[in-house]
Structure 1
Amino acid sequence: MRLSAIVASSALVLGALASAAPATAAPGAAAATPPDISVANVKQHLTDLQSIATANGGNRAHGRTGYKASVDFVKAKLDAAGYTTTLQQFTYNGATGYNVIADWPGGDPNQVVMSGSHLDSVTSGPGINDNGSGSAAILETALAVSRAQLQPTKHIRFAWWGAEELGLVGSKYYVNNLPSAERAKISGYLNFDMIGSPNPGYFVYDDDPTIEQTFKNYYAGLGIPTEIETEGDGRSDHAPFKNAGVPVGGLFSGADYTKTSAQAQKWGGTAGQSFDRCYHSSCDTTANINDTALDRNSDAIAYAIWNLATGTTTPPTGKVFENTADVSIPDNGAAVTSSVTVSGVTGNAPSNLSVGVDIVHTYRGDLVVDLIAPDGSVYNLHNRSGGSADNLVQTYTVNASTEVANGVWKLRAQDKAAVDTGYINGFKLTFP
């Protein structure tokens, strides 16, 4: 089918889908609580993708039989679950490529929450972490949407991209051939590329603030600090969407960069070793997956889709000022600070100033943490509470209405007892 026909039919499909939600339930009313995604189910999808690669020359690369078999596998699951699926064809390097696009019935067709992962591998291996992990996780999330018979406020769309490993070919083709009016309907694109790395980190894209904060809220609820994703920035399928002006976000567990000592202290694993030693190699098999990272990231995907598509949470608004540079906190030593410069805010700070604190520490009961206003006023946030628990990842609300908003604000942290150490991982002020 020609692309123009696909776009035209997609518009008709979306019109039909918008009226397909049962009239007896309000949008977002059903299954508003995000599900716990079964990591066993996600791993079964990975086992199936491994079997496909094994039966097709050891890979699932663009133009190879293993890729088309992967496409057929994903599409069959989606068709059976009630999705409207489209295979979008393109040609690259003389071979036919495929994107799988899946729309869930219902939701506002003018507000589309879209999630995607590339389905292809490199030719040198089966690509189970890169990127079977992202593909399997969004597949299981899509199936969870179907099982819940979710009735979202916004329209939900999933995509599996072809030929990402050759330069984001499939996602570029989709974005470049989507009419501007259709692109404008995508309220957010979420990308998941490598989320089960064997020596994992927990990285969040820092593009759209609402999407970023949604993921950070999920991990803050687990007490797990995150870092801003920099290793693959612009190297995955969110880039064409971002370049077209679509809000983007996503998760990543690391590729061939080396995990630092600070990151190993924060997340566990092995310092001085890459996040994925089998990156783009034949050993990127089902043995190359960290189950815990895969489980957490899969649940984070469902959390984001449910919240962003059903309107069950109110995203942060206003101006955000953030410092993500690490600041070491000496053991039983002097206080240290992390600073943000607030500008462009009229008048005084609000009575509900949001203060985001992300401190990695092995014993938070040692810590005294304060917010210091530009005039030197001190607002205590944490005073040696929490006992033997580690890390302090929390958002505080401070009545700072007597303070002028603009100026340098500081987060001050001091370790008041011996043995345990840590560092400020991030500090953020949100002005409503």
Structure 2
Amino acid sequence: MTLAAQPVTASPTTATTVARPIAGTAAALAAPDVSVTNVQAHLAQFNSIATSNGGNRRAGSAGYTASLSYVKTRLQAAGYTVSEQYCSSCTYPSNNLIAEWPGPADQVVMFGAHLDGVSAGPGINDNGTGSATLLENALVLAAQNPTVTKRVRFAWWTDEEQGLNGSRFYVNSLNATQRGYIKGYYNFDMVGSTNGGYFINRVTSTTAAPLKAYWDSLGLQPEENVEGQGRSDDYYFQQAGIPTSGYAAGASARKTSSQAAKWGGTANSAYDPCYHRACDTTANVSATVLNRAADGVAYALWQLAVGGTGGCAGGQVIGNGGFESGSTPWTASSGVITNASGQPARTGSYKAWLDGSGRTRTHTLSQSVTVPAGCATYTLSFWLHIDTAETTGSTAYDRLTVQVGSTTLATYSNLNAAAGYAQRSFNVAVFAGQTVTLRFTGTEDSSLQTSFVIDDVTLQAS
């Protein structure tokens, strides 16, 4: 990542729904598990190249040229159409590398990373990690050779460290029609920081949805990439009106206490302690962070460009749906997520128990979710047990409301009480491509308890 930022111009008595309940889902088209060992092997090659060429891979240097040759050779062997673009306006004139996997010419999804480093060191996290992650994803795509609905274009940029010059040259070389063909550009810059976080460029955008959906499925609670705004190769794509997003794990900014609490690592220390230093070697990479980025790229690629149903990779969108991994990423009233014995979980030990006190109170349980675009089916499902001491058979004293965004999917009450758990399922396809909040709200009046007990929540896209 370059140092200097660029300038940034229902009725309460019965369950009622507005989303159609459905019985089942189609089989998901699964994205591949990208081998982090293979990604690390590419990093070892970049490190060796730097060692043999003056200790760095700066744009225009022998180390950069050898890095480009390594990536190009692997891509050509895999069957890609590969081209080099000479950046004559770069501070260190040198070549961008572009690789194409065939698909509709007017429907392009593009993945990019800068291949150059600074002169101070080998540049393995910055940005060998982004470059190696894309290389391995490209090789996996070629090896699996699935049906694609979009053309997949990979790019490795030169001269990023001198001011995003390689990517700027490329964007400026496109005419308006060619820019319009690119439906999304995804940038990956420093995705293995040892004290890293989980950051996404324009995290709430529709373009970011597949990247966020994958990290949400791991319960990571990604945040906006504030540090990286205007500082990497997505900038000129964004300025040209092309939708952009991407992953980052952080550079020289310091991890906050709240970030350390949810992600681990050391608070008040840099995400990358070797940022732009000689110690940015293969030892300066977190395999865990790198692996999650590599698999997230595959998820996004498969969802955006693979398969006959719009490229949906499928998968579970809800994090910690069984409540067995603490509260993250749920937000809940105190005591709602519990292993208390008064109401049994459907599976495991924990569940979400709303109300049940016999006094006036409101409990909430919510999670922000990104519903991926391009899938055929979208099923929200949860198991609900309603236990009540209310005896009047026609009055809804206590209620549970289920909402997605501002839409109420269903309202349940003490009148729906029954022994055991019942599964409730809804078609939520109307929310495809949106980041919305799933919210359960339980309200109880001043006498006689009603317990609303929720377990095993899923939102499955396929």
Partner residue, 2:287: 291
Distance in 2 (alpha carbons) for counterparts of 1:309 and 1:149: 12
The answer to whether 1:102 aligns with 2:102 is: no
Describe the shift of the 1:380–1:135 C-alpha distance in structure 2 as closer, same or farther (beyond 3 A).
same
What's 1:187 paired with? 183
Separation (CA, whole Å) in 2 of partners of 1:271 and 1:56: 36
In 2 relative to 1, CA 412–177 (structure 1 residues): closer, same or farther, beyond 3 Å? same
User: What is the one-letter code of the residue matched to 1:294?
Assistant: L
- 2: CA distance, partners of 1:168 / 1:192: 13
Question: Are the counterparts in 2 of residues 195 and 294 from structure 1 also a CA contact under 8 Å?
Answer: yes
In the superposition, the TM-score normalised over structure 1's length comes to 0.69
Equivalent position SS for 2:59:
coil
SS in 2 for 1:117: strand
The partner residue of 1:125 within 121, 135, 146 is 121
Aligned residue among 193, 200, 212 for 1:216: 212
Distance 2:263 2:65 in 1: 37
Query: Which residue in the other structure is 1:313 paired with?
Result: 312
Of 76, 81, 84, the match for 2:81? 84
1:302 is aligned to 2:298: yes
**Match for residue 23 of structure 1?**
none
Distance 2:163 2:74 in 1: 27
Q: Tell me: higher relative CO, structure 1 or 2? Use CA pairs within 8 A at least 6 residues apart.
A: 2
Q: Which residue of 1 aligns with 2:142?
A: 146
| Matched-pair contact (CA < 8 Å) for 1:153–1:309 | yes
Identity %: 45
1:187-336 mapped onto 2 (5 Å cutoff) = 187-206=183-202, 209-310=205-306, 311-313=310-312
Structure 1's 410 and 42: CA in aligned 2 closer, same or farther, altered over 3 A? closer
In structure 1, give the amino acid aligned to 2:246. G
The runs of 5 or more residues in structure 1 that have no matched partner are 1-30, 316-355, 371-376, 383-391, 404-408, 415-432
| Bigger Rg, which one | 2
Q: What is aligned with 1:344?
A: none
**What CA distance in whole angstroms lies between the structure 1 residues aligned with 2:441 and 2:286?**
33
Alignment TM-score, normalising by the size of structure 2: 0.64
Deviation, 1:380, is 4.5
Superposition pairs of residues 29-44 of structure 1, within 5 angstroms: 32-44=29-41
- From 337, 355, 362, the counterpart of 1:365: 337
Q: Could you say what the CA RMSD is over the residues aligned between the two structures, in angstroms? A: 3.2
Q: Counterpart amino acid of 1:214? A: P
Q: Match of 1:49, as an amino acid?
A: F
Deviations 1:397-422 (A, max 9, x none): 6252799xxxxx997999xxxxxxxx
Measured at CA, do residues 220 and 55 of structure 1 come closer, stay the same or move farther in structure 2, by a change above 3 Å? same
Question: 1:112 touches 1:187 (CA, 8 Å); kept in 2?
Answer: yes
Residue 204 of structure 1, CA deviation: 1.0
1:157 alignment partner, SS class: strand
Q: Against the structure 1 CA distance between its residues 108 and 285, is the aligned structure 2 distance closer, same or farther, given a 3 Å change threshold?
A: same
- For residues 285 and 154 of structure 1, what CA distance do their matches in structure 2 show? 36
Q: Give the number of equivalent residue pairs.
A: 323
The answer on whether the counterparts of 1:208 and 1:249 sit within 8 Å (CA) in structure 2 is: no
Q: Which amino acid aligns with 2:100?
A: D
Q: Please state how far the C-alpha of 1:33 moved relative to its aligned partner.
A: 2.0
Q: Name the structure where helix makes up a greater proportion of residues.
A: 1
The structure 1 residue matched to 2:159, chosen from 152, 160, 163, is 163
CA contact (8 A) 2:57 2:122 kept: yes
